[in-house]
Structure 1
Amino acid sequence: MNKLGCLLLSTVLLTITAGCGTASVTETSAKPAAEAKMEVKTEVKKSEEIKTVKFSEVIRSIFYAPHYIAMQKGFFKEEGLNVDMNTAQGSDKGAAALIAGVADISLVGPETAIYIYNQKGDKTLKIFHQLTIKDGSFLLSRTKLNGFKWSDLEGKSVVGWRPGSAPQMVLNSKLQQEKVKAEVITNIASPAMAGAFTSGKGDFIQVFEPIASTLEKEGKAFYAAAVGQAFGPFPETSYVATSDYIKKNPETIQKFVNAVAKGTKWLNTASPDEIAEALMPFFEGTPKDIIIQSIDRYKKQDTWSAVPELTAEQFETLQKMLIENDVLKPEQKLTDMGVVVDMSFVKNIGKAGK
């Protein structure tokens, strides 16, 4: 078992011990959401039966806007679902919550399903909806640069993400492509990254929105590059559940997928003001202009696909990166993506009765 596998297994055991009492914190350098556990209520018919889904998001970021839109605009309620949401602060923790049974569905990096499968445990995870198709992080510098070049990172330090996480691997692969050697600091917990940077740690920082725009507005950092746009297509974040849960609750999974698809569709047609108003309850204290700028950046890099399918080509890109970053051995590469992927629900979006 590789180091990441051991770390994930340890997290599973800790989660089982902690149970439903695990605390969570939203990832934002502005005032965090009032509660990491959030339920957005909308009016529904009293006669309609509502099913609660325990949901774990990897971090709190505008990168996952379609999900928050689906909650705020009542699309989950329309499907007969109530989403009970917690923030895990890491794909490893989100996967552990599924294995421990304290979450029904998690939004995590799809690589976690591969890690769990290769551990040959009692439970496996399946990816059933691909939410994002680009990395969602942005590279900011401590000093203003005139026309950023990747060579500007040579010999510099970057406050980055934990080893084996999707943003860390994307950045590492990009540095390899550019033949640039930089020190990437990977031992700072995600909620503490912005604070560490503003306290003087690192020459650059790799963060998601709305943190990136917030640091810029506060004059504490300067925009350098969109890592996802520079790297290209990559299946960074997926909805995942255990194979057992999907088998026992196919209608719930289909309704969940339908609701998120509605959120994505609404996001692609609504005005910037409408989108910001819908997202503000999830980012308490974050100004509207920051939310609008964040959404604009993610839209410009085509973050959310109209067809949220994890394709064979994307799965190949994912596994290639895992091998390049030494978190997956070549002999562990999955030849049949079907053992960890089920796109049947995505293919049923919009069909009669679905």
Structure 2
Amino acid sequence: MRQARKPVLLLLAALLVAATAACGKNDNNADKTTKVRFSEVIRSIFYAPHYVAMSQGFFKDQGLDVDMNTAQGSDKGAAALIAGTADISLIGPETTIYIFNQKGEKTLKAFHQLTIKDGSFLLSREKLDGFKWSDLQGKTVIGWRPGSSPQMVLNSTLLKEGVKDVNVVTNIAAPAMAGAFASGQGDFIQLFEPVASTLIKEGKAYYVASLGEAFGSYPETSYVATSDFMKKNPEVVRKFSKAVTEGARWLQTASSDDVLKALKPFFDATPDDIILQSVERYKKQMTWSTTPALSQDQFDILQNVLVENGVLKAADKVGKLDDVVDNSFAAAAGKD
């Protein structure tokens, strides 16, 4: 009997070893998935490549589990990085300059340029035929907080067009802007998609102009992390940049049905036609780059705008791009 039981015991032992090895293999795979705490500046179709990277599994393919929250402002997104409550933030690259000039313990670096034009649109309360920027003279515009990219782009556009005496309201929180306009405040409003098209569809505003087309090239939003995080986690940053680049490329050729399916989970309260219209508006003005390095030319434009708007002294311009930008990850993603 003892001899008969021995093969059975050996078989059970072999099965136990196999099961243990299988569990160990699953655990190793789980360990390869890295959680990334991510903060977006606002929720907007302006950032469609990021949502595509999430819904199409491009982050997952890179072994990244992206935990996303909405900061409601570049200042808050930068603060989350400094406080250590976010690993990567999608914010205006000007924040890297502000933090660098503070000479604090932590510095920020932009590593991937997502948008290369401003993404806001100017809407009017009354229908206008043949809009001219001078139509804003003596009027009130509901705009963005002081020092934010859309606020500075609007101001620089007004300076370029020689328009004076425009009352730009900058103290209304981003989520409340459309509601304030709908309730009767302001003659014009500056909004991102899909909120702009939603207000138009509801008959509460009329399309006037694209700030992105009016101003031209401008590095509005970048993925940013602390220098320490990038040094400790270069593979995470590289994979993150690659996934977003895949998202931008996917948008170039995807069908309307596929685009809608990819973005709907992030804009479930937005009508399908507005989602698609918003994407087309941003594609038309060539908002997203598939070669996402922040060039020296764009960095110079950014710093000139900061000086022009009085938030940066000319003497405090950052002399070396590398002090606040690391293009190595975007360059690699662009080549892949």
Normalised by the size of structure 1, how large is the TM-score? 0.86
1:285 match: secondary structure:
coil
Question: Within 1, Cα distance between the matches of 2:253 and 2:183?
Answer: 40
Which residue among 41, 54, 79 is the counterpart of 1:58?
A: 41
Amino acid at match of 1:143: E
Give the match for residue 341 of structure 1: 325
* Matched ranges for 1:126-205 at <5 A: 126-181=109-164, 182-205=166-189
Question: Within 2, Cα distance between the matches of 1:94 and 1:147?
Answer: 38
2:269 match: secondary structure:
coil
State yes or no: 1:239 paired with 2:234: no
Amino acid at match of 1:279: L
Give the match for residue 198 of structure 2: 214
Could you give the per-residue CA deviations for residues 72-129 of structure 1, whole angstroms, max 9, x where no partner exists? 0000000000000000000000000000000000000000000000011100000000
* Matched ranges for 1:238-257 at <5 A: 238-257=222-241
Amino acid at match of 1:273: D
Could you give the per-residue CA deviations for residues 153-198 of structure 1, whole angstroms, max 9, x where no partner exists? 1111100000000000000000001111211000000000001000
1:307 match: secondary structure:
coil
Moved more, 104-113 or 266-275: 266-275
Question: Within 1, Cα distance between the matches of 2:237 and 2:46?
Answer: 22
The sequence identity of aligned pairs, in percent, is 68
Question: Within 1, Cα distance between the matches of 2:121 and 2:261?
Answer: 23
Give the match for residue 24 of structure 1: none
Question: Within 1, Cα distance between the matches of 2:131 and 2:207?
Answer: 9
* Matched ranges for 1:1-354 at <5 A: 47=29, 49-181=32-164, 182-349=166-333
How far 1:305 moved relative to its partner? 1.1
Question: Within 2, Cα distance between the matches of 1:350 and 1:231?
Answer: 26
Give the match for residue 34 of structure 1: none
Question: Within 1, Cα distance between the matches of 2:307 and 2:334?
Answer: 36
How far 1:350 moved relative to its partner? 6.2
How far 1:233 moved relative to its partner? 0.3
Question: Within 1, Cα distance between the matches of 2:215 and 2:126?
Answer: 23
Normalised by the size of structure 2, how large is the TM-score? 0.90
Q: What's the Cα RMSD here?
A: 1.1
Amino acid at match of 1:83: V
Whether the 8 Å CA contact 1:273–1:292 is kept in 2: the answer is: no
1:291 match: secondary structure:
helix
Whether the 8 Å CA contact 2:291–2:334 is kept in 1: the answer is: no
Could you give the per-residue CA deviations for residues 196-249 of structure 1, whole angstroms, max 9, x where no partner exists? 000111000000000000000000000000011111000000000000000000
Whether the 8 Å CA contact 1:253–1:345 is kept in 2: the answer is: yes
Gap regions ≥5 residues in structure 1 = 1-44
Question: Within 1, Cα distance between the matches of 2:232 and 2:275?
Answer: 38
1:322 match: secondary structure:
helix
How far 1:253 moved relative to its partner? 0.2
Amino acid at match of 2:119: G
Whether the 8 Å CA contact 1:169–1:322 is kept in 2: the answer is: yes
How far 1:325 moved relative to its partner? 0.2
Amino acid at match of 2:213: Q
Question: Within 1, Cα distance between the matches of 2:171 and 2:334?
Answer: 43
How far 1:274 moved relative to its partner? 1.2
Give the match for residue 32 of structure 1: none
Amino acid at match of 2:120: S
Question: Within 1, Cα distance between the matches of 2:332 and 2:171?
Answer: 41
Question: Within 1, Cα distance between the matches of 2:310 and 2:88?
Answer: 28
More helix by share: 2
How far 1:277 moved relative to its partner? 1.4
Whether the 8 Å CA contact 2:142–2:190 is kept in 1: the answer is: yes
